[in-house]
Chains A and B, each alone.
Chain A
Amino acid sequence: MPFFNIPVLAAAVRDPETIPVLVVVMIGLVLVFAILFILIAVIKIQGGLFGSAEKKKKIKSEAKEEITVPIQKAKPQNVPVPPVVEKGIPGEVVAAIVASIDAMSGGAYVLRAVGVHKKRRGAWGTAGVVQSTEPF
């Protein structure tokens, strides 16, 4: 299709079925990449303007009620030891906890064990506390 033939282009715009398939694919891919590249530039500018975040940030975790065993600073080890995980805790939850610790500490800490904190309010009790304190 001649790109500078305005009547042909106008006809194609009125009827998208006549646009060559490869043209649609090219337009689509180029536009997706272009828009996301623009977003990358915007994010980098935004990051530079607002600066990096505070170093220690409280992580919002889905497993807020689980309390991990206190972590100790890692001693130099030749062979990394996997953490001791209480039965019933899915591997993905452990992966998320370890990834969070790793991200926050930069690899300075190693998770030794994961367990569920036994002494806590039941679900109903927790819901009652949340409902009562939520307005505040």
Chain B
Amino acid sequence: MSKIRAKLEQVKSLKNGKGIQHLLNEAYKIVGNPMILHDMDYKLIAYVEGVIVDDPLWNELVQTGGIGKNTEGFIMQEGFIDDLANSNGKAAFLKSETLMYDRISKLVDNGHGVSVGELWTFEVNEPFEANDTEFIDAVGELISKELAKDQFYLKYGQAYQSTIMRKLIEGSIEDRRFYSVHVANLDRDLKDNIYLAVADTSQCNSPAHTNLEYFTDIFQRTRPAFKYMIYDNCIIILMSTDGTILYIKNVLGKLYGLFEQHNIYVGISSGFENLYELSKYYAQAVKALQSGLKSDGSQRIFLHNDED
């Protein structure tokens, strides 16, 4: 056990600041098995060079910088996507009956809580042991710290999250099996009851009201636990609570103050659990907002009413 602890401490003590490539190379020397990192669109970010890995995913990433539909389908058939979706952000063993190597995979976030990549390590040199996932978790955290310094990955994370939310709102996901890890990423920090809010800033009383990015940024900083995107000239807020929405001011927290301050009106859906039904709850929130704006000038938050 002390040997494992020592190895883990070595990994954790790797220094940031010299880039991801350097991190992977140094981690490889400690962990013993090659690693590769790609983004959520399967575009190569970095890999340990000089190692031969007889694996279709590794070879396609290294040779082409990405993967094609065949390999995407293969990953899905192997159950890797489900395994990752169920891992709750931790490193997961991925075993295969058909591939030469078992592997460990971990989703890597951008330091702001949004997964932007996937780190794989292949059982090429050293046989895996039960606690090898701890090493990969540690390497993943170090990579996150590197990515946190890079504005590109902050923007990429926002764009990626918005894309998934938009696909869910529009109901345009054709094969849920391929998207399960992306939806699980979105769902990971959400509590039991999810609510979708549509915030209309068109009546905002400041010159910044046309800049939805400005308000999205403010909301993000004020209530980082929620998820935001701009859609159809409104700001979509995905929020959650263990309880109900009845005490809406408690749920919204300081966001409520911002809405009042900037004359923003908000429609909120009824509670749900299934993110694949987001289109239905988006429609509810929009309807609540539209009905509310017509009916009452004194309220600011309009909850979906089943009788509407």
Q: Do A and B bind each other?
A: no
